[in-house]
Structure 1
Amino acid sequence: MFNDYFDITGLVSRYQPMIKDNPDLDFAIKQQLSDCTQGLKLELIKSNPYTEIELALLNAELEFDEKAATSVRFKNDIISYQRFISQAQLPSDKKYWLKELTVLDDKVNKLNQQKRKITAIKTKHNHLLTHWRKQYDKAHSKWQLEAIRQFQEKFLSELNDWLEQIKILSEVVESLGLEPGYLLDFSEGKLTLSDVEKLKKWAEYLPNDEGVKSLCEMLGKLRQVTLSDKIETIKKTINMPEMVFDGDSKQEIVGLKLGKDLEHVLPSELALMSDPETSILFDLKYLESSLMCFDMAGISIDHAEQVVEQSIQKEDKKGPMVICIDTSGSMHGSPETIAKALSLYLTTQAKKEQRDCYLINISTSIEILDLSQGYSLSSLLTFLQKSFHGGTDVAPAMRHGINIMKNDAYENADMLIISDFVMSSLPNDCLELVEQQRIKGNRFYSLCIGNAFMTNRLKTHFDSEWVYNPSNSSITELIKFQNDVIDSAIII
């Protein structure tokens, strides 16, 4: 019954190309339809205005079937019925039932036998209950249809708005080269309309700002796939062609043989048939298969399998990512939005490349989100919405991130710190931990958003450091800049 009121065929056909390209979206729509159907059932039960009347009617019908009819019970049911008529705002028939009650009382008083009295009361009572049931079913169905219509309109409107937002968001992420299937992950969570709005806000920074777009392309290439120094020997089966004689193929003369193959008999043997005296000898040789014949054979190419050893170089997989996002007070506004847009891009890229990812939200304290075991997009959005707006202390985040790098799952990981770097210098113990992890193969990168730069001594602690200026969308690589300055000084 309920599915008949939730026909989404027209709505789905409108967004069919987008749904076809994303099976998870199709699943999410069906799940929402299922949830809405269950929600409608509960809503119809919870908001039924006739619940008490229905119980009274059911109780009256039950007592009518199980107990003897009495005038008192008949009068009480008339009162309950009139209460229902008033609540349902149906035309009043109170006068009719009062008249029926008066007629019944007069008739009962005139009857002498108790059995006939009960029969008379039961007849009137049955008439009341039948009419009551008919009126109740009509009123309840009318209310239920209206409730379903309102519920349907609300659901279809919200679903249409949701799909429209997803369509807009899909176009945004596709313009940057991302596959919507990786960004719009509905298989492990649900997105609300407010989630989509926030996601759209961050994602729009990516294609509309050329500087942010360049940052995404640059940061997405951190720790490119490289050839490992480890050489591994493997066994490989190859086909080796070789020439073999084929006796069934009559291509060339390879010798002579005795036989009776007239097609290949020597001319000297055929000459025996030219003389009647020697033709008997030819017949005898033929019977004994002793005629001299050409031996014919062919040459074919056969393929033999051979197992050989071969050395290969294995490709190193891209390591996990540890991303530290500064949400302190100095990052408020555009810098924080850009940082979260970049984090959104990097996390979706990590999922696309099946790289583990670990997020750290930093200020004077830290919040963490481990994305190594899979995640729902809603949980990622909840994390990215958090902002501390306090002071900036990156050291606790770096210490925590380095401890994570010591785990097997985050071996060979990259750490990226996105901040305006309005902070004090890193403590010595933190710098020592960085150097220890760098020796083990970990890499440390930083992205400074804004014009406030740190001191030169801190810049050199990162393998690469970039500065992004939101005012003109310019990107400067600080370490490369320092090297250029040094080279210029040497030339002078």
Structure 2
Amino acid sequence: MVDLETLSQLLAINETQMVQDLVSTVMSSPQISQFMHEHPLFFKNIQEHVQQWSQAMPAQMKSIPVPDDLQQEYILFLETQGLSPEQFSKQSTRLLVQLQHSDFHTDAQNLLLSLGQSNLLNRKQLFIQKWREHLVSRVLSLEIDFAEQERERMLQELELRMQIAGELDETLAPQHPGKLWDLTATHMLQGNSALFRHYASFLVNNPELKKIADALGRAATQDSSAEEQITQVETPEWKYVQQEQVPDDLVGVHQSNELNRLISSETVLLTEPELETVFYKQLAERRLLNYQFMGQSKSLETTLSERRVFGETEDTKGPFIVCIDTSGSMSGYPEDCAKGFCFALLQIALSEQRHCVILLFSTDVVTYELTGPDGLQEALNFLSCSFKGGTDLEPCMHQVMNYMQQAQFRNADAVVLSDFIAQRLSPETEQQAYRIKQNGNRFNAVSLSRHGKPALMKIFDNVWKFDTSLSGRMLRKVR
């Protein structure tokens, strides 16, 4: 069995230029050029994606299946190449019979006829050369067909990802769209992606929700303890340096060879021809008596100094764990508010490279990883689900605290969205929450009803109230 890699190597085919041409063709396509013009922040992501694709191309070409007839013809080519000129001449008729199903058959027949009177060695070498060119053409044709299919596949994939990334860039608006580009790598979103635009518009019409989300995003920095840090600081300083080149003050006499500072008595040596040689000798040896001057000049020098500062640690902003009450009392406008708030947190998580997990609780707990590998589909599934059931915060809090004990959820911010019309948490759960808070984790609450039980909210570090009743909505409009 002969594979295409072996054929390419033995026929000395170099696919590098072909791959480079493919990359240029893909990057210069009108669709990609227009998208990068409209979304310049994605340029690096697309460039890296195409580069990874081009690097994998040579390995993929090696796995292209070789047709049986090409394999057999190549084996025949190798056998013929090993024949002596005399053997080649004697077996030429049989060779034509073996090549009757090859595209090279007609050319081979004409070559043997036209070279009938040629030298046997030249006849064989020219025949082998033309045959090799035919085989190279066959292999290149296979690679070009494969390359064209790959180019079309890559363009379709890029167009799909650019479509999704472009739509979400306008709604999620991340500061660093690299994460967003990674999330589009999974598959076509199954569902109505217009939900993203709906909740982006919902936040515009309910700016108070966005303000709460922004406040929660900043809470990690505001609530973290300041730590004393010692840093090395480079400070440029002007310093005065004593230099002889600065003629400020006459400080004495020394030996040198500076004629402009020569003591007048030394010139006596030049008045006598016998002593002139002594003068030049002392000049060369820097032994003539010169006036010595000294002055000060300023020089810019950099010094290192220690500075003590009080600031936040670099990892103060941790993940978001969002717990949403999906009881029947949360359906309707409260459900829209909860989803809109999560959409705002997703915007923050993508911009600040923070993990975001959503837990829906009623009689059971359902988890959505909004910034995981399938984050966009998870977000769409969450936004399209409906709220119904009871209210049981206890199992949800247990799952939140299990998350917070994991290393990747260190310094996490948990936030519970509910109307808080439910049973109180058990004393054991409250005590565990207090212990976890000592490790830097925070518990927050957004109360969507003015009838929420204060006793149920006492374990939270921050409580924001957003009244979703009709009167609450009217009051916000009046403001």
The one-letter amino acid paired with 1:329 is G
Give the drift of 1:440: 3.6
Amino acid aligned to 2:359: I
Q: Which amino acid aligns with 2:209?
A: V
Native 8 Å contact 1:361 1:367 kept in 2: yes
SS in 2 for 1:469: coil
1:19-98 correspondence runs (5 A): 19-23=39-43, 26=46
Aligned match of 1:344: 343
Residue 220 of structure 2 corresponds to which residue in structure 1? 223
> CA, structure 1 residues 321+173, in 2 after alignment: closer, same or farther (shift >3 Å)?
closer
Which whole-Å CA distance do the structure 2 matches of 1:11 and 1:170 have between them? 17
- Corresponding residue number in structure 1 for 2:361: 362
Contact 1:357 1:370 in 2 (8 A): yes
Corresponding residue of 2:428: 429
Matched-pair contact (CA < 8 Å) for 2:161–2:184: no
- Opposite residue 456 of structure 1, the aligned amino acid is P
Q: Look up the SS of the partner of 2:220 in the other structure.
A: coil
Higher-Rg structure is 1
CA change 1:30–1:412 in 2 (3 A) is: closer
1:122-179 Cα distance to aligned partner (Å, 9 max, x none): xxxxxxxxxxxxxxxxxxxxxxxxxxxxxx9xx99x99999778656544444xx866
CA distance in 2, matches of 1:239, 1:14: 48
Q: Structure 1 CA distance, aligned partners of 2:181 and 2:27? A: 24
Q: Which amino acid aligns with 1:263?
A: N
The Cα shift of 1:283 comes to 5.0
Alpha-carbon separation, structure 1, partners of 2:30 and 2:460: 55
Residues 338 and 321 of structure 1, relative CA distance in 2, 3 Å threshold: same
Aligned mate of 1:213, from 180, 202, 210: 210
* Distance apart, 1:430 and its partner CA: 2.4
- What letter corresponds to residue 37 of structure 2 in structure 1? P
The aligned counterpart of 1:131 is: none
SS state at 1:325 partner: strand
Residues 435 and 314 (structure 1), Cα distance of their counterparts in 2 relative to 1, 3 Å cut:
same
- C-alpha change, 1:336 and 1:23, in structure 2 (3 Å) is farther
1:197 and 2:190 are equivalent in the alignment: no
Cα deviation 1:86-111 (Å, max 9, x = unaligned): xxxxxxxxxxxxxxxxxxxxxxxxxx
In the alignment, the residues of structure 2 paired with residue 372 and residue 431 of structure 1 have an alpha-carbon distance, to the nearest angstrom, of 29
Deviates more, 1:330-339 or 1:463-472: 463-472
Counterpart amino acid of 2:40? K
- Equivalent position of 1:396 in the other structure: 395
Return the alpha-carbon distance in structure 2 between the equivalents of residues 260 and 182 of structure 1.
71
Shift of 1:292: 4.4
By how many angstroms is 1:349 displaced?
1.4
| In 1: Cα distance, 2:212 partner to 2:375 partner | 25
User: 1:263, CA displacement in angstroms?
Assistant: 2.2
Matched with 1:465 is: 463
8 A contact 1:253–1:294 mirrored in 2? yes
Q: Could you say what secondary structure the match of 1:342 adopts?
A: helix
Which residue, out of 438, 455, 463, partners 2:453? 455
Matches within 5 A, 1:161-176: 170-174=169-173
The whole-number CA distance in structure 2 between the counterparts of 1:238 and 1:326 is: 55
Contact 1:234 1:309 in 2 (8 A): yes
Note the 1:319-330 alignment, pairs <5 A. 319-330=318-329
Shift of 1:369: 3.3
- Shift in alpha-carbon separation, 1:223–1:260, aligned structure 2, 3 A: closer
Q: Deviations over 1:239-297 (max 9, x none)?
A: 66544444466665332235664422335666x69xx9x86798587356476432245
Q: 2:308 — aligned with what?
A: 311
Q: How far 1:357 moved relative to its partner?
A: 2.9
TM-fit CA distance, 1:199: 1.9
AA aligned to 2:406 is N
Kept after mapping to 2: 8 A contact 1:232/1:312: yes
Cα pair distance change 1:313/1:375, threshold 3 Å: farther
Specify the alignment match of 2:380 in structure 1: 381
Deviation per CA, 1:460-485, whole angstroms, max 9, x where unpaired? Answer: 33222222134454899xxxxxxxxx
Residues 245 and 297, structure 1, Cα contact 8 Å, conserved in 2: yes
Q: Aligned pair in 2 of structure 1 residues 287, 165: CA closer, same or farther (>3 Å)? A: closer
CA shift in 2, pair 1:18/1:26, >3 Å? farther
- Whether the 8 Å CA contact 2:172–2:346 is kept in 1: the answer is no
- 1:425 Cα deviation (Å)? 2.7
The residue aligned with 2:334 is 335
What corresponds to 2:64 in structure 1?
none
Aligned partners of 2:195 and 2:383 also within 8 Å: no
Amino acid at match of 1:219: L
- Closer/same/farther in 2, CA of residues 349 and 401 from structure 1, 3 Å limit: same
The 2-side partners of 1:27 and 1:283 are apart by 77
Residues 279, 182 of structure 1: CA spacing in aligned structure 2 closer, same or farther, 3 A cutoff? Answer: same
- Count matched residues: 347
What's the secondary structure of 1:336's corresponding residue? helix
- What TM-score does the superposition give when structure 1 sets the normalisation length? 0.56
How many angstroms apart in 1 are the aligned matches of 2:333 and 2:172?
20
Q: 1:207 to 1:288 in 2, by over 3 A?
A: same
Alignment of 1:177-188 (within 5 A): 186-188=183-185
Q: Is the 8 A contact 2:417 2:447 kept in 1?
A: yes
Alpha-carbon separation, structure 2, partners of 1:244 and 1:469: 72
Aligned letter for 2:337?
I
Structure 1 alignment gaps of length 5 or more: 35-64, 66-151, 477-492
Matched ranges for 1:286-297 at <5 A: 286=279, 289=282, 292-296=289-293
- TM-score with structure 2 setting the length: 0.58
1:345-404 per-residue CA deviation (whole Å, 9 max, x = no partner) reads 213312332333332111111012346765531133224434451111111101211222
Contact 1:20 1:26 in 2 (8 A): no
| Distance in structure 2 (CA, Å) of the matches to 1:235 and 1:295 | 41
Query: Secondary structure of 1:194's match?
Result: coil
Q: Identity of aligned pairs, percent?
A: 24
Answer yes or no: is the 8 Å Cα contact 2:186–2:373 preserved in 1.
Answer: no
Paired residues of 2:172 and 2:347 also in contact (CA < 8 A): no
CA distance change for structure 1 residues 196 and 254 in 2, over 3 Å: closer, same or farther? farther
Q: Is the 8 A contact 2:189 2:376 kept in 1?
A: no
Which secondary structure does the structure 2 equivalent of 1:444 belong to? Answer: strand
What one-letter code is carried by the residue in structure 2 that aligns with 1:465? V
Q: Is the 8 A contact 1:162 1:193 kept in 2?
A: no
Q: Cα deviation per residue 1:20-56 (whole Å; 9 max; x = unaligned)?
A: 332488589989x99xxxxxxxxxxxxxxxxxxxxxx
Q: Determine the C-alpha separation between the residues in 2 that align with 1:187 and 1:420.
A: 34
| 2:122 aligned partner | none
